[in-house]
Amino acid sequence: MDIFLIDGPVRLSGSVTINGSKNASLPIMASAILAGGKSILRGVPDLSDITVCGQLLEQLGCKVVKEPTGELSIDSTVVDNPFGDYEILRKMRAGICILGPLLARCGRAEVSMPGGCAIGDRPVNLHINGLRQLGARIHLKSGYIIAEAPNGLTGKEIFMGGPFGSTVLGTANVLAAATLARGRTVIESAACEPEIVDLANCLNKMGAKISGIGSPRLTIDGVSGLEPVEYEVIADRIEAGTFMVAAAITAGELKLTNCRLRHMMAVADRLRHIGVKVEQDNGGCVVSATGPPRTADITTQPYPGFPTDLQAQFMALLSLADGNSVIIEKVFPDRFMHVAELNRMAANLRKEGPAVIVAGVKKLIAAPVMASDLRASAALVLAAMAAEGTTIINRVYHIDRGYEKIEQRLNPLGASISRQSV
């Protein structure tokens, strides 16, 4: 198992290119199932979650190849085993996004219920309800979702909102399935995240008829078949946000290329509010800070609100603010595993239900800490770069799930991170 040793404090400066989006790539990879033939995806990042998703597709019968050019090819000519194994789904919850495409392509799917995870309950009731409304018969057996639609799916008006708003992967599943359903489907309260826009654009390039893309009301006119596609995924707005916080927390200056600021307006708004400069720069942006941040209140929400996937990173940043900030988590109310670890580094954080009161401290101090999930571990890396001393982060495999060789990208900018196998 790998650990990170991170020396701080450092000041970052330089330029970094943002990779393709993990969370756009995963449902797009799954949607390749819908068309028999070879699809080519560009910009798919080299991450363990992507590798696991490739293994899942191979179990279904697809051939998945990382080409020497960096493209990912998925040949879905054969999909003869519509089975999503628990051994894979327990590692990567996003594997659930094969459910809709498999059902549409094969008329049947047997996919493990994903387990809970460190960020809280991860129910899939909205996925199941949506697919049921398209006519699928679905029951649960021994931890598996057994879904059947031997005569195909039929379009319908579906409301997909839940207690915490829209669902990203639930929308992806129902949207993908509806492309091949008979007639018209309307998804009301669809997720509007850029990753869903990217999936819809990709599906349309495959021959689907989706309109209302980017709005909470998606209209899908079913077609009889889809074609394989060549497609480039969007830049990763969460990776970009993490590098923005890296610039801010180290009072540094970073130029981010391949970063769409228009996908990050809530994030740029909060950064500017706390005194960080964020300026548009051809196809990217420049982020700079000169001192400790001012305080800010943050509430996570579905897009275009502030993303839950950057909540932990902003908590690390605000822990150094001059005063009190409040962070409210409205998407995953239990997503606070990083609170205790940041407190080990001398932050002053107090959890109150789905909120954390962040009392700013003058400095963070290095300590041994434990990465608990992907974004929580990113927050620890950020805190460690600002903290005095050498922080040891255990279980860095969590960060490898979503950030490609993070130490190799931060070190040239001025960080001092070494990876060791223990």
CB of 57 to ligand EPZ, least distance (A): 15
237 is a site residue for ligand EPZ (CB under 6 A): no
The yes or no reply on residue 47 touching ligand EPZ (CB under 6 A) is: no
Q: How far is the CB of 365 from ligand EPZ (least distance, A)?
A: 27
- Residue 33 Cβ, how far from ligand EPZ at the closest point, in Å? 16
**The binder of ligand EPZ chosen from 84, 100, 155, 170 (CB under 6 A):** 170
- Structural tokens at position 226: 């889809």
Nearer to ligand EPZ, 30 or 342 (CB): 30
Q: Where are the beta strands (DSSP E) in 203-334?
A: 209-211, 217-221, 230-232, 253-257, 277-281, 284-288, 298-299, 324-328
Give dist(CA 160, CA 230) in Å, integer.
Answer: 30
- Distance, in Å, from the CA atom of 72 to the CA atom of 60, rounded to the nearest integer, reads 17
**Closest separation between CB of residue 344 and ligand EPZ, Å?**
22
Give SS3 for 8: strand
Q: Which of 53, 97, 106, 117 is catalytic?
A: 117
296 is an interface residue for ligand EPZ by CB under 6 A: no
- From 63-71, 160-168, 218-226, 344-352, give the range in contact with ligand EPZ by CB under 6 A: 160-168
CA torsion 179-185-190-196 (nearest 10°) is 10
The question of whether 117 is a catalytic residue gets the answer yes
3-class secondary structure, 353? coil
Among 112, 167, 201, 394, binds ligand EPZ (CB under 6 A): 167
Which residue bears the tokens 């194994």?
85
Site string for ligand EPZ, 95-114 (x = CB under 6 A): --------------------
Q: Quickly count: other Cβ atoms within 10 Å of residue 142's Cβ.
A: 8
The b-or-e profile of 358-383 (16+ CB within 10 A means b, else e) is: bebbeebebbebbbbbbbbbbbbbbb
Considering beta carbons, is residue 41 or 374 the nearer one to ligand EPZ?
Answer: 374
Cis peptide before 304 (omega within 30 of 0): yes
Letters for 362-391 (x = contact with ligand EPZ by CB under 6 A, - = none) are: ------------xx----------------
Q: Which residues bind ligand EPZ (CB under 6 A)?
A: 23, 26, 94, 119, 121-127, 162-164, 167-170, 195, 308-309, 331-332, 374-375, 402
Active site residues: 117
